[in-house]
Amino acid sequence: MTTSGKTTATARLGSALLALAAALVLAFLMLPILVIVPLSFNAGRYLGFPLEGLSLRWYADFFGSPVWRGALGNSLVIALATTALATVLGTAAALGLARPGLPGRRLMQGLVLAPLIAPAVIVGVGMYFVFSTLQLTHTLPGLVLAHTALAVPFVVVTVGAAHAGLDARLLRAAASMGAPPWLAFRKITLPLIAPGVASGALFAFTTSLDEIVVTLFLAGPGQRTLPREMFSAAREALTPTIAAAATVLIAFSSALLAAFLFFRRRGG
């Protein structure tokens, strides 16, 4: 075999190993999520393989139960309110932190992003004591504010990344032509950072929709979210209804991600 032939064979072997490693990593990430989907269609009463047949009975059980429907409605209301609030606050925070010469910027960045690295249990305990003092526990606004505190860092990160690519000369040119700051923001800054804002909103929605630890500390009997209801149901018995609820959550998140990618592609 010639030298070029050995090089080609080595390159092919490297590509094959790289593809194999990528496939294994992808399977490691996705299988725990996707394995729940076929279980939700199991005709049997137990959550496990092999399937005893295909059925929609657990989806009928899920959507026919006022408890599950109420939990789903609460989750969607809280997630939508959290998304709106976190997107506004996170975008404002990211733009503020991006200002040149801001004193204490690194410290403020660390404080804003702290919920990303702090253990959820510690955050939940801290929020419980603060919110109970403010009489916000066992209330819907309290839960929305708590989820917003967890979601804002994701918006700050994505909007900050989008803003880092903004050409400051465009803003200086707008200012030199007499455009007030709000007009420059609406016409230049906002369109350019829109993908980051949309990504942050998506992260905020999924963060709230999936949140369970802080909810367990703060929510009262009237704020039963879908993850909380799944957790409570799993403590009693693992039934395929839980798999159906999980599949509904996956479908919501996937639909949002697909919509985001669609509009992002259309927007260029």
Look at residues 94, 14, 138, 235 and name the one whose alpha carbon lies nearest to residue 127.
Answer: 138
Nearest 5°: phi and psi at 211?
Answer: -70, 135
Contact (CB, 8 A) for 68 and 227: no
* Confidence at residue 24, expressed as pLDDT on a 0 to 100 scale: 93
With CA atoms as reference, report the closest residue to 159 among 189, 134, 129: 189
Spatial separation of the C-alpha atoms in residues 184 and 254, rounded to whole Å? 34
User: Cis link prior to 50 (omega < 30° from 0)?
Assistant: yes
Structure tokens at 119: 């253990």
pLDDT of residue 3: 66
Ranges under pLDDT 70 in the chain: 1-5, 263-264, 266-268
Cα distance between residue 140 and residue 131, in whole Å: 12
pLDDT at residue 2, as a whole number: 65
Backbone angles phi, psi at 7, to 5 degrees: -65, -40
Q: How far apart are CA 67 and CA 73, in angstroms?
A: 10
List Cα–Cα distances, 47 to 12, 41, 189, 249, in angstroms: 43, 10, 50, 18
pLDDT for the residue numbered 266: 61
Q: What is the pTM of this model?
A: 0.83
